[in-house]
Structure 1
Amino acid sequence: MEIHISAEICEQIPDFKIGVIEYRNIMIGDSPQMVKGRLQLFQESIFFELENKQITDLAGIMEWRSIFKKTGKDPNRYRHSAEALFRRIQKQNYLSPIHSAIDINNFFSLQYQVPIGVYDQDRLKAPVVIRIGRVGEAYNGLNGRSNSLEHLILSSDENGPFGSPFVDSDRAPATVNTRNALQIIYLRPSTSDVDAAKLTESLMNMFTQIHGGEASYQVLGCL
Protein backbone atom coordinates (compact mmCIF):
# COMPACT_ATOMS: atom_id res chain seq x y z
CA MET A 1 0.00 0.00 0.00
CA GLU A 2 1.30 3.45 -0.91
CA ILE A 3 1.95 5.49 2.26
CA HIS A 4 3.73 8.76 2.72
CA ILE A 5 4.24 11.57 5.25
CA SER A 6 3.07 15.08 4.39
CA ALA A 7 5.51 17.94 3.84
CA GLU A 8 3.71 19.93 6.56
CA ILE A 9 4.62 17.35 9.20
CA CYS A 10 8.22 17.24 8.01
CA GLU A 11 8.48 21.03 8.23
CA GLN A 12 7.30 21.04 11.84
CA ILE A 13 8.91 17.77 12.98
CA PRO A 14 11.92 17.05 10.71
CA ASP A 15 12.80 13.78 12.47
CA PHE A 16 9.23 12.42 12.39
CA LYS A 17 8.98 8.71 11.56
CA ILE A 18 6.52 5.84 11.56
CA GLY A 19 6.76 2.07 11.38
CA VAL A 20 4.37 0.52 8.85
CA ILE A 21 3.46 -3.18 8.75
CA GLU A 22 1.18 -4.88 6.23
CA TYR A 23 -0.34 -8.28 7.04
CA ARG A 24 -1.98 -10.71 4.66
CA ASN A 25 -4.16 -13.77 5.35
CA ILE A 26 -4.19 -13.40 9.14
CA MET A 27 -6.66 -14.83 11.66
CA ILE A 28 -7.63 -12.59 14.60
CA GLY A 29 -9.40 -14.06 17.62
CA ASP A 30 -9.11 -14.43 21.38
CA SER A 31 -5.57 -13.88 22.61
CA PRO A 32 -3.62 -16.95 23.70
CA GLN A 33 -3.25 -17.28 27.47
CA MET A 34 0.44 -16.39 27.09
CA VAL A 35 -0.46 -12.96 25.70
CA LYS A 36 -3.18 -12.36 28.29
CA GLY A 37 -0.82 -13.35 31.10
CA ARG A 38 2.06 -11.18 29.87
CA LEU A 39 -0.21 -8.18 29.42
CA GLN A 40 -1.64 -8.53 32.93
CA LEU A 41 1.77 -8.97 34.59
CA PHE A 42 3.19 -6.06 32.61
CA GLN A 43 0.37 -3.79 33.73
CA GLU A 44 0.90 -4.75 37.35
CA SER A 45 4.63 -3.99 37.12
CA ILE A 46 3.89 -0.62 35.50
CA PHE A 47 1.46 0.24 38.29
CA PHE A 48 4.17 -0.27 40.92
CA GLU A 49 6.74 1.64 38.86
CA LEU A 50 4.39 4.61 38.63
CA GLU A 51 3.86 4.88 42.39
CA ASN A 52 6.65 7.44 42.72
CA LYS A 53 6.58 8.88 39.21
CA GLN A 54 4.58 11.30 37.12
CA ILE A 55 3.34 9.77 33.88
CA THR A 56 4.34 12.94 32.04
CA ASP A 57 7.97 12.35 33.12
CA LEU A 58 8.18 9.11 31.11
CA ALA A 59 10.34 9.73 28.05
CA GLY A 60 7.96 8.39 25.42
CA ILE A 61 4.91 10.04 26.94
CA MET A 62 6.74 13.35 27.18
CA GLU A 63 7.98 13.17 23.60
CA TRP A 64 4.57 12.55 22.10
CA ARG A 65 3.03 15.30 24.24
CA SER A 66 5.60 17.67 22.74
CA ILE A 67 4.59 16.57 19.22
CA PHE A 68 0.96 17.45 19.96
CA LYS A 69 2.10 20.88 21.16
CA LYS A 70 4.13 21.45 17.99
CA THR A 71 1.13 20.80 15.74
CA GLY A 72 -1.13 22.96 17.90
CA LYS A 73 -3.10 20.30 19.81
CA ASP A 74 -3.35 20.71 23.59
CA PRO A 75 -1.92 17.48 25.12
CA ASN A 76 -3.81 18.11 28.35
CA ARG A 77 -7.15 17.97 26.53
CA TYR A 78 -6.15 15.45 23.86
CA ARG A 79 -3.95 12.78 25.41
CA HIS A 80 -2.26 10.45 22.97
CA SER A 81 -3.33 6.84 23.22
CA ALA A 82 -0.19 5.56 24.96
CA GLU A 83 -0.57 8.16 27.71
CA ALA A 84 -4.23 7.21 28.08
CA LEU A 85 -3.24 3.57 28.64
CA PHE A 86 -0.72 4.52 31.33
CA ARG A 87 -3.28 6.70 33.10
CA ARG A 88 -5.72 3.78 33.22
CA ILE A 89 -3.08 1.55 34.74
CA GLN A 90 -2.11 4.20 37.29
CA LYS A 91 -5.73 4.03 38.52
CA GLN A 92 -5.55 0.21 38.51
CA ASN A 93 -8.17 0.23 35.78
CA TYR A 94 -6.31 -2.52 33.99
CA LEU A 95 -6.93 -3.31 30.34
CA SER A 96 -9.08 -6.36 29.76
CA PRO A 97 -8.42 -8.63 26.77
CA ILE A 98 -10.40 -7.56 23.67
CA HIS A 99 -8.99 -9.60 20.81
CA SER A 100 -5.51 -10.67 19.82
CA ALA A 101 -4.71 -7.73 17.52
CA ILE A 102 -5.74 -5.06 20.03
CA ASP A 103 -4.09 -6.89 22.94
CA ILE A 104 -0.73 -7.04 21.13
CA ASN A 105 -1.12 -3.40 20.12
CA ASN A 106 -1.65 -2.43 23.74
CA PHE A 107 1.29 -4.52 24.95
CA PHE A 108 3.75 -2.90 22.54
CA SER A 109 2.28 0.55 23.07
CA LEU A 110 2.97 0.20 26.79
CA GLN A 111 6.40 -1.32 26.25
CA TYR A 112 7.63 1.46 23.95
CA GLN A 113 5.41 4.32 25.19
CA VAL A 114 4.13 5.13 21.69
CA PRO A 115 0.70 5.15 20.01
CA ILE A 116 -0.02 2.26 17.64
CA GLY A 117 -2.98 1.73 15.33
CA VAL A 118 -4.11 -1.43 13.55
CA TYR A 119 -6.64 -1.25 10.73
CA ASP A 120 -8.58 -3.47 8.34
CA GLN A 121 -6.69 -2.83 5.11
CA ASP A 122 -9.59 -4.00 2.94
CA ARG A 123 -11.62 -1.04 4.24
CA LEU A 124 -8.96 1.46 3.17
CA LYS A 125 -8.30 2.94 -0.25
CA ALA A 126 -4.72 3.93 -1.08
CA PRO A 127 -2.82 6.13 -0.96
CA VAL A 128 -2.53 6.69 2.80
CA VAL A 129 -1.16 10.02 3.93
CA ILE A 130 0.07 10.89 7.41
CA ARG A 131 -0.78 14.58 7.78
CA ILE A 132 -2.11 17.26 10.11
CA GLY A 133 -5.86 17.67 10.51
CA ARG A 134 -7.52 20.63 8.85
CA VAL A 135 -10.05 23.11 10.20
CA GLY A 136 -13.42 21.45 10.68
CA GLU A 137 -12.22 17.87 10.19
CA ALA A 138 -13.68 15.30 12.58
CA TYR A 139 -14.68 11.66 12.76
CA ASN A 140 -16.60 9.28 14.96
CA GLY A 141 -14.04 7.54 17.14
CA LEU A 142 -13.80 4.22 18.90
CA ASN A 143 -14.40 6.22 22.09
CA GLY A 144 -18.01 6.65 20.96
CA ARG A 145 -17.71 10.39 20.33
CA SER A 146 -17.17 12.80 17.48
CA ASN A 147 -13.53 13.87 17.71
CA SER A 148 -12.04 17.08 16.36
CA LEU A 149 -9.02 16.39 14.14
CA GLU A 150 -7.94 20.01 13.70
CA HIS A 151 -4.16 20.34 14.35
CA LEU A 152 -3.95 16.59 15.12
CA ILE A 153 -1.59 14.22 13.33
CA LEU A 154 -3.76 11.69 11.53
CA SER A 155 -3.83 8.92 8.94
CA SER A 156 -6.03 9.51 5.91
CA ASP A 157 -6.93 7.56 2.77
CA GLU A 158 -8.96 8.56 -0.30
CA ASN A 159 -12.13 8.51 1.81
CA GLY A 160 -10.72 10.77 4.51
CA PRO A 161 -9.17 10.37 7.99
CA PHE A 162 -9.38 6.96 9.67
CA GLY A 163 -6.82 6.99 12.47
CA SER A 164 -4.62 9.09 14.73
CA PRO A 165 -2.30 8.82 17.74
CA PHE A 166 -5.22 10.15 19.82
CA VAL A 167 -8.08 7.79 18.97
CA ASP A 168 -8.95 5.84 15.83
CA SER A 169 -12.16 6.22 13.87
CA ASP A 170 -14.86 3.57 13.82
CA ARG A 171 -14.51 3.21 10.02
CA ALA A 172 -11.70 0.68 9.64
CA PRO A 173 -10.58 -0.90 12.92
CA ALA A 174 -9.13 -4.40 12.82
CA THR A 175 -11.68 -6.95 14.02
CA VAL A 176 -12.00 -10.73 14.21
CA ASN A 177 -13.22 -10.57 10.61
CA THR A 178 -10.06 -8.82 9.36
CA ARG A 179 -7.87 -10.88 7.04
CA ASN A 180 -5.53 -8.16 5.75
CA ALA A 181 -4.32 -5.47 8.13
CA LEU A 182 -2.30 -2.29 8.22
CA GLN A 183 -0.43 -1.40 11.40
CA ILE A 184 1.04 2.05 12.02
CA ILE A 185 3.53 2.67 14.83
CA TYR A 186 3.84 6.36 15.65
CA LEU A 187 7.49 6.15 16.62
CA ARG A 188 9.29 8.57 18.88
CA PRO A 189 11.22 10.98 16.62
CA SER A 190 14.30 10.53 18.81
CA THR A 191 14.41 6.80 17.99
CA SER A 192 17.37 5.93 15.76
CA ASP A 193 16.70 4.39 12.35
CA VAL A 194 18.28 1.13 13.50
CA ASP A 195 16.15 0.93 16.67
CA ALA A 196 13.03 1.95 14.74
CA ALA A 197 13.54 -0.96 12.35
CA LYS A 198 14.18 -3.39 15.23
CA LEU A 199 11.06 -2.28 17.09
CA THR A 200 8.87 -2.53 13.99
CA GLU A 201 10.22 -5.94 13.03
CA SER A 202 9.80 -7.21 16.59
CA LEU A 203 6.13 -6.22 16.61
CA MET A 204 5.62 -7.79 13.17
CA ASN A 205 7.18 -11.07 14.28
CA MET A 206 5.07 -11.33 17.43
CA PHE A 207 1.93 -10.45 15.50
CA THR A 208 2.50 -13.10 12.83
CA GLN A 209 3.44 -15.66 15.49
CA ILE A 210 -0.05 -15.24 16.92
CA HIS A 211 -2.06 -14.59 13.74
CA GLY A 212 -0.21 -16.51 11.03
CA GLY A 213 -0.22 -15.13 7.51
CA GLU A 214 2.49 -13.13 5.79
CA ALA A 215 3.85 -9.68 6.57
CA SER A 216 6.24 -6.98 5.44
CA TYR A 217 7.40 -3.80 7.14
CA GLN A 218 9.07 -0.48 6.46
CA VAL A 219 10.09 2.59 8.43
CA LEU A 220 9.13 5.90 6.85
CA GLY A 221 10.62 9.22 7.85
CA CYS A 222 11.21 12.76 6.69
CA LEU A 223 15.00 12.58 6.36
Structure 2
Amino acid sequence: MKVTISPDVFDKLPDFSLGVIHYSDIALSESPKMLRGRINLFVESLRIEHEPAKLTEIEGIREWRAAFKRLGIDPSRYRPSSEALLRRLIQGNPFHLVNSAVDVNNFLSIHYALPYGIYDLSKLSGQVVCRLGTETDAYEALNGREVQMKGKLLLADEEGAFGSPIVDSVRTSVKDGASQLLQVIFFHPMLSVKQQDEIIGSTARMLTEINGGEVVFADAVRAIS
Protein backbone atom coordinates (compact mmCIF):
# COMPACT_ATOMS: atom_id res chain seq x y z
CA MET A 1 0.00 0.00 0.00
CA LYS A 2 1.65 3.20 -1.19
CA VAL A 3 1.17 6.31 0.96
CA THR A 4 2.14 9.77 -0.27
CA ILE A 5 1.98 13.29 1.15
CA SER A 6 0.41 16.06 -0.93
CA PRO A 7 2.47 19.21 -1.65
CA ASP A 8 -0.19 21.35 0.04
CA VAL A 9 0.84 19.81 3.37
CA PHE A 10 4.54 20.53 2.82
CA ASP A 11 3.69 24.14 1.92
CA LYS A 12 2.59 24.64 5.54
CA LEU A 13 4.69 21.97 7.28
CA PRO A 14 7.94 21.64 5.27
CA ASP A 15 9.45 19.04 7.62
CA PHE A 16 6.30 16.96 8.09
CA SER A 17 6.56 13.18 7.77
CA LEU A 18 4.65 9.98 8.39
CA GLY A 19 5.64 6.59 9.67
CA VAL A 20 3.94 3.91 7.56
CA ILE A 21 3.78 0.21 8.47
CA HIS A 22 1.97 -2.53 6.53
CA TYR A 23 1.26 -5.78 8.38
CA SER A 24 0.04 -9.13 7.05
CA ASP A 25 -1.35 -12.27 8.72
CA ILE A 26 -2.22 -10.46 11.95
CA ALA A 27 -4.22 -12.52 14.47
CA LEU A 28 -6.45 -10.23 16.53
CA SER A 29 -7.55 -11.20 20.01
CA GLU A 30 -8.38 -9.71 23.38
CA SER A 31 -5.26 -7.95 24.63
CA PRO A 32 -3.13 -10.31 26.74
CA LYS A 33 -2.65 -9.76 30.46
CA MET A 34 0.94 -8.61 29.90
CA LEU A 35 -0.14 -5.77 27.63
CA ARG A 36 -3.01 -4.73 29.88
CA GLY A 37 -0.62 -4.65 32.83
CA ARG A 38 1.87 -2.51 30.94
CA ILE A 39 -0.88 -0.11 29.91
CA ASN A 40 -2.16 0.18 33.48
CA LEU A 41 1.31 0.89 34.88
CA PHE A 42 1.95 3.55 32.26
CA VAL A 43 -1.40 5.23 32.89
CA GLU A 44 -0.74 5.25 36.64
CA SER A 45 2.62 6.94 36.07
CA LEU A 46 0.99 9.51 33.80
CA ARG A 47 -1.49 10.47 36.50
CA ILE A 48 1.30 10.88 39.04
CA GLU A 49 3.62 12.90 36.80
CA HIS A 50 1.21 15.13 34.85
CA GLU A 51 -1.76 17.41 35.36
CA PRO A 52 -4.24 18.21 32.56
CA ALA A 53 -3.28 21.88 32.68
CA LYS A 54 0.38 21.02 32.08
CA LEU A 55 -0.01 18.57 29.21
CA THR A 56 1.45 21.09 26.77
CA GLU A 57 4.81 20.64 28.52
CA ILE A 58 5.06 17.22 26.83
CA GLU A 59 7.04 17.72 23.60
CA GLY A 60 4.72 15.74 21.35
CA ILE A 61 1.66 17.61 22.59
CA ARG A 62 3.34 21.02 22.36
CA GLU A 63 4.70 20.43 18.88
CA TRP A 64 1.49 19.00 17.44
CA ARG A 65 -0.53 21.91 18.82
CA ALA A 66 1.96 24.24 17.09
CA ALA A 67 1.66 22.25 13.85
CA PHE A 68 -2.14 22.50 13.99
CA LYS A 69 -1.88 26.25 14.35
CA ARG A 70 0.37 26.44 11.27
CA LEU A 71 -2.27 24.45 9.40
CA GLY A 72 -4.96 26.89 10.51
CA ILE A 73 -6.58 24.38 12.91
CA ASP A 74 -7.57 25.51 16.41
CA PRO A 75 -5.91 22.87 18.68
CA SER A 76 -8.24 23.71 21.56
CA ARG A 77 -11.30 22.90 19.44
CA TYR A 78 -9.79 20.03 17.44
CA ARG A 79 -7.19 18.34 19.61
CA PRO A 80 -4.61 15.91 18.23
CA SER A 81 -5.85 12.41 19.05
CA SER A 82 -2.83 11.69 21.26
CA GLU A 83 -3.54 14.78 23.38
CA ALA A 84 -7.24 13.96 23.63
CA LEU A 85 -6.46 10.42 24.82
CA LEU A 86 -3.81 11.57 27.29
CA ARG A 87 -6.13 14.23 28.66
CA ARG A 88 -8.95 11.73 29.25
CA LEU A 89 -6.63 9.28 30.99
CA ILE A 90 -5.05 11.89 33.26
CA GLN A 91 -8.54 13.06 34.22
CA GLY A 92 -9.21 9.56 35.54
CA ASN A 93 -11.07 7.96 32.65
CA PRO A 94 -10.20 4.32 31.88
CA PHE A 95 -8.12 3.16 28.94
CA HIS A 96 -10.77 1.79 26.58
CA LEU A 97 -9.77 -1.70 25.43
CA VAL A 98 -10.85 -2.71 21.90
CA ASN A 99 -8.64 -5.51 20.58
CA SER A 100 -4.98 -6.48 20.59
CA ALA A 101 -4.02 -4.30 17.60
CA VAL A 102 -6.02 -1.18 18.47
CA ASP A 103 -4.87 -1.37 22.11
CA VAL A 104 -1.18 -1.50 21.08
CA ASN A 105 -1.79 1.39 18.69
CA ASN A 106 -3.40 3.54 21.39
CA PHE A 107 -0.80 2.62 23.98
CA LEU A 108 2.02 3.70 21.66
CA SER A 109 0.16 6.92 20.89
CA ILE A 110 0.18 7.93 24.56
CA HIS A 111 3.69 6.54 25.11
CA TYR A 112 5.20 8.71 22.36
CA ALA A 113 2.56 11.50 22.56
CA LEU A 114 2.00 11.19 18.81
CA PRO A 115 -1.21 10.69 16.82
CA TYR A 116 -1.37 7.07 15.61
CA GLY A 117 -3.87 5.51 13.23
CA ILE A 118 -4.48 1.85 12.45
CA TYR A 119 -6.68 0.75 9.55
CA ASP A 120 -8.07 -2.41 7.97
CA LEU A 121 -6.37 -2.64 4.56
CA SER A 122 -9.22 -4.69 3.14
CA LYS A 123 -11.45 -1.64 3.56
CA LEU A 124 -9.12 0.68 1.63
CA SER A 125 -9.27 1.29 -2.12
CA GLY A 126 -6.33 2.34 -4.26
CA GLN A 127 -3.53 4.57 -3.07
CA VAL A 128 -3.53 6.60 0.14
CA VAL A 129 -2.64 10.28 0.27
CA CYS A 130 -2.14 12.58 3.23
CA ARG A 131 -3.56 15.98 2.31
CA LEU A 132 -5.64 18.90 3.53
CA GLY A 133 -9.39 18.42 3.50
CA THR A 134 -11.83 20.02 1.08
CA GLU A 135 -15.51 20.94 1.47
CA THR A 136 -16.57 17.46 0.37
CA ASP A 137 -14.46 15.59 2.94
CA ALA A 138 -16.50 14.18 5.81
CA TYR A 139 -16.97 10.82 7.52
CA GLU A 140 -18.57 9.00 10.41
CA ALA A 141 -15.92 9.05 13.11
CA LEU A 142 -15.07 6.61 15.87
CA ASN A 143 -16.34 9.15 18.41
CA GLY A 144 -19.85 8.69 17.01
CA ARG A 145 -19.96 12.02 15.23
CA GLU A 146 -20.06 13.05 11.59
CA VAL A 147 -16.89 15.09 11.21
CA GLN A 148 -16.29 17.75 8.58
CA MET A 149 -12.65 17.72 7.46
CA LYS A 150 -12.35 20.90 5.39
CA GLY A 151 -8.91 22.43 6.00
CA LYS A 152 -7.82 19.62 8.30
CA LEU A 153 -4.95 17.21 7.82
CA LEU A 154 -6.31 13.84 6.71
CA LEU A 155 -5.71 10.50 5.02
CA ALA A 156 -7.80 9.60 1.95
CA ASP A 157 -8.10 6.72 -0.48
CA GLU A 158 -10.10 6.51 -3.72
CA GLU A 159 -13.35 6.48 -1.72
CA GLY A 160 -12.47 9.61 0.22
CA ALA A 161 -11.22 10.66 3.64
CA PHE A 162 -10.93 7.96 6.30
CA GLY A 163 -8.43 9.11 8.92
CA SER A 164 -6.61 12.02 10.48
CA PRO A 165 -4.45 12.96 13.48
CA ILE A 166 -7.72 14.16 15.09
CA VAL A 167 -10.05 11.16 14.82
CA ASP A 168 -10.41 8.18 12.48
CA SER A 169 -13.41 6.85 10.60
CA VAL A 170 -15.69 3.91 11.27
CA ARG A 171 -15.27 2.79 7.64
CA THR A 172 -11.67 1.61 8.01
CA SER A 173 -11.70 0.63 11.68
CA VAL A 174 -9.95 -2.58 12.76
CA LYS A 175 -12.44 -5.19 13.96
CA ASP A 176 -12.41 -8.95 14.57
CA GLY A 177 -11.17 -10.85 11.54
CA ALA A 178 -8.95 -8.10 10.13
CA SER A 179 -5.55 -9.52 9.19
CA GLN A 180 -4.01 -6.97 6.79
CA LEU A 181 -3.37 -3.70 8.59
CA LEU A 182 -2.01 -0.28 7.76
CA GLN A 183 -0.57 1.76 10.62
CA VAL A 184 0.28 5.44 10.26
CA ILE A 185 2.27 7.53 12.74
CA PHE A 186 1.95 11.30 12.42
CA PHE A 187 5.39 12.75 13.24
CA HIS A 188 5.81 16.36 14.27
CA PRO A 189 8.62 18.32 12.58
CA MET A 190 10.91 18.42 15.64
CA LEU A 191 11.61 14.68 15.57
CA SER A 192 14.90 13.76 13.93
CA VAL A 193 15.14 11.14 11.19
CA LYS A 194 16.86 8.83 13.69
CA GLN A 195 14.07 9.28 16.24
CA GLN A 196 11.43 8.62 13.61
CA ASP A 197 13.13 5.44 12.44
CA GLU A 198 13.48 4.20 16.03
CA ILE A 199 9.77 4.81 16.70
CA ILE A 200 8.78 2.98 13.51
CA GLY A 201 10.97 0.03 14.46
CA SER A 202 9.74 -0.25 18.05
CA THR A 203 6.12 0.14 16.91
CA ALA A 204 6.38 -2.67 14.37
CA ARG A 205 8.12 -4.96 16.86
CA MET A 206 5.55 -4.45 19.60
CA LEU A 207 2.54 -4.92 17.36
CA THR A 208 3.86 -8.18 15.89
CA GLU A 209 5.04 -9.47 19.28
CA ILE A 210 1.46 -9.14 20.54
CA ASN A 211 -0.43 -10.05 17.35
CA GLY A 212 1.91 -12.24 15.34
CA GLY A 213 2.01 -11.68 11.60
CA GLU A 214 4.69 -10.10 9.46
CA VAL A 215 5.84 -6.59 8.61
CA VAL A 216 5.52 -6.16 4.86
CA PHE A 217 6.71 -2.56 4.80
CA ALA A 218 7.95 -0.14 7.45
CA ASP A 219 9.43 3.23 6.59
CA ALA A 220 8.97 6.99 6.81
CA VAL A 221 7.36 9.11 4.10
CA ARG A 222 9.06 12.48 3.87
CA ALA A 223 9.45 15.39 1.49
CA ILE A 224 11.72 14.69 -1.46
CA SER A 225 14.58 17.16 -1.32
Question: Shorter-chain-normalised TM-score: which range?
Answer: over 0.9
2:221 is aligned with 1:220:
yes
Does the 8 Å contact 2:8/2:132 carry over to 1? yes
- Aligned counterpart, 1:167: 167
Matched, 1:36 2:25: no
Structure 1-normalised TM-score?
Answer: 0.96
Query: How many angstroms apart in 2 are the aligned matches of 1:116 and 1:165?
Result: 7
Alignment of 1:40-119 (within 5 A): 40-51=40-51, 54-119=54-119
Tell me what 1:131 maps to. Answer: 131
Report the 3-state secondary structure (helix = DSSP H, G, I; strand = E; otherwise coil) of the residue aligned with 2:94.
coil
C-alpha distance in 1, partners of 2:163/2:91?
A: 26
SS at match of 1:83: helix
- Identify unmatched segments of 5+ residues in structure 1: none
C-alpha displacement at 1:136, in angstroms?
Answer: 4.2
Q: Percent identity?
A: 40
Q: C-alpha separation between the residues in 2 aligned to 1:53 and 1:3? A: 36
Whether 1:182 aligns to 2:186 is no
Cα distance in 1 between the residues matched to 2:75 and 2:10 = 20
In 2, distance between residues paired with 1:16 and 1:75? 17
Structure 1 residue 52, shift from structure 2 partner = 8.6
Size of the aligned set, in residue pairs, is: 223
1:14-29 matches, within 5 Å, as: 14-29=14-29
Distance 2:175 2:104 in 1: 13
Once the two structures are superposed, what CA deviation does each residue of 1:96-120 show, in whole Å capped at 9, x if it has no partner? 3221111111111111100000000
Output the CA distance in 2 between the equivalents of 1:146 and 1:132: 18
Describe the superposition over 1:30-73 as per-residue Cα deviations: whole angstroms up to 9, x where unpaired.
01101000001100100111149611221110111111111111
Could you state the TM-score of these two structures normalised by the residue count of structure 2?
Answer: 0.96
C-alpha separation between the residues in 2 aligned to 1:142 and 1:166? 11
Structure 1 position 135, deviation (Å): 2.4
Give SS of 1:103's match.
helix
**Moved beyond 4 Å, runs of 4+:** none
Verify the 8 A CA contact 2:200 2:218 in the aligned structure 1.
Answer: yes
Matched residue of 1:114: which SS? coil
The CA deviation at 1:125 is 1.2
Moved more, 7-16 or 92-101: 92-101
Secondary structure at 1:118 match in 2: strand
Contact persistence 2:162–2:171 (CA under 8 A):
yes
